[in-house]
Amino acid sequence: MARSGALQRILTLGALTAFAPMSIDMYLPGFTALQHDLHTTPEAVQRTLVVFFVGLALGQAFWGPVSDRYGRKRPLLIGIALYVLASLGCAMAASMDALMLWRLLQALGGCAGIVIARSMVRDLYAPVDAARVFSRLTLVLGAAPILAPLAGAALVQSWGWRAIFLVLSAFGVACLLAALALPESLAPGARSNAQQHPVRNALRTYFDLLRDRRFIGFALSGALGQSAMFAYIAAAPFVFMQVFGLSSAQFAWVFGANALGLIAASQINHALLARVGSGVLLHWALLSLTVWASVMLALAVLEVGGLWGVVIPLFIALSSLGFSFPNATALALAHQTGRVGSAAALMGSLQFTLAAASGSAVSMIAAHSALPMAAVFCAFAGLALWANQRLAPR
């Protein structure tokens, strides 16, 4: 029973961290239909992603200190409820302005699941075990980019893009019911430390974290690497469906295959952690990410390889993130006793602030080829490697 309960807990935590990929990846196949229905431009549709990233960044900065002070469970349930209501609002939006507002609120609610799930892992597991658990969460997390675009494409073809948000609302309700069974992982005694950092002093806590080299080097390494992926996410619908002419269903399969590579890598990472340290795995993962991003950029500049010249190096680069994400997260949170929620929140805020920057950079460049996506992807991959080599402690 204990083993079954532990598995159920990991599955629930994985589902909570999947709010972002579910809300992004299921939505991507509906870009073209949404553009036509609301009579807008591709760049405007991409900005709905940027708004979502901004909401994820701002919301995590709020939920982290709140969960340190009041415990994990109550803020988690409030955040999920907001996500459910905002998803219904997205389904009923009659204009781009309304959609962007509801997407912002959807992100603000959904990010409670992301930051609090990470905090719960750090509450419940030692650092080495936490890295293994984060690898398992990546397995659950990685299922979303495989299944969500396929489901999104089917929903768009059968009922239109609004059905996507109705399904996301139902997903939120299911997560809310599952979260009710989670234990409160932050004991009242542990909250006495968090009481020294009430919400009004959250900026001081964040400033201390930014000066903590153990935290910031690993946090930036992970956040910059993830931001490279978000450049791909923001540009992928237009690159693959408009530049290369794939259908929404074909795009969903390509997107899912890339996610499958990330899942496989995360489980290899789980096995290697028994013999290789997290810091070593993180370094080689970021090196692989940068090398294959550079290959993709070179092929895009030379206009060599067509679709396969993008898909193959992109697949290997994204798979590298299956090693970098769990190790960077575990290393960044390893020494943050008493402020785990704030640390997880700041890491998530950095990630999605940089994701908004990468998505904005892509959306400002007309997507007539794969070059803008490849260039932004490569830039953030290189910055992730630099942060790990120059800022992270050895």
| pLDDT tens readout for residues 158-193 | 888 899 999 999 999 999 998 898 887 776 666 545
Mean pLDDT for 81-99 is 93
Find all residues with CB under 8 Å of 124, minimum gap 6, and list them.
185
pLDDT tens digits for range 248-290? 778 878 877 887 888 788 778 878 887 888 888 989 999 999 9
Closest CA to 68 of 336, 347, 349, 351: 336
Please give the Cα distance from 34 to 7 (Å, whole number).
38
pLDDT tens digits for range 100-136? 999 999 999 998 888 888 778 777 776 666 667 776 6
Task: Answer with the residue of higher pLDDT: 138 or 207.
Answer: 207
Find all residues with CB under 8 Å of 357, minimum gap 6, and list them.
227
- Side chain identity, residue 169: S
Task: Answer with the residue of higher pLDDT: 88 or 272.
Answer: 88
Closest CA to 249 of 87, 5, 32: 32
pLDDT for the residue 131: 66
pLDDT for the residue 141: 62
